[in-house]
């Protein structure tokens, strides 16, 4: 670019990583929900264990869903920051060049 650049490549790498990790968290939602237990015998297991166990499965799935959404949002924000840095640099590099700090 101009010789005066913010290291946006690092931010862009982070965007990729957060996007990937968010996708992984979203996949865990289905895996967690697939762990529901069905005994069907109507006994003590169904009355005590299954509801508590399903509450745990619901909690884990909800946290994975929440984590996936938040990671996606972090990815978007990092991308916006990288874009803002690059836009600012491209608009203002001439000022730095005119000050004699950089060669044009």
pLDDT in tens, 5-40: 668 899 999 999 999 999 999 999 999 999 998 777
40 HSE (CA, 13 A, CB side): 1
Task: For the beta carbon of residue 47, count every other beta carbon within 10 angstroms.
Answer: 9
| Cβ atoms 18, 69 nearer than 8 A | no
The pTM of this model reads 0.76
Place of tokens 């069907």: 40
- Angle of helix 50-98 relative to helix 8-33, nearest 10 degrees, comes to 170
């Amino acid at each position: 670019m101009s010789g005066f650049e913010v290291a946006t490549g690092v931010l862009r790498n982070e965007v990729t990583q957060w996007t990937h990790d968010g996708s992984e968290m979203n996949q865990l939602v289905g895996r967690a929900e697939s762990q529901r237990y069905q005994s069907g015998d109507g006994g003590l297991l169904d009355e005590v264990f299954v509801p508590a166990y399903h509450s745990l499965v619901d909690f884990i799935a909800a946290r994975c869903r929440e984590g996936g959404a938040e990671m996606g949002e972090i990815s978007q924000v990092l991308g916006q920051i990288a874009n803002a840095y690059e836009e600012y640099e491209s608009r203002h590099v001439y000022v730095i060049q005119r000050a004699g700090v950089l060669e044009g």
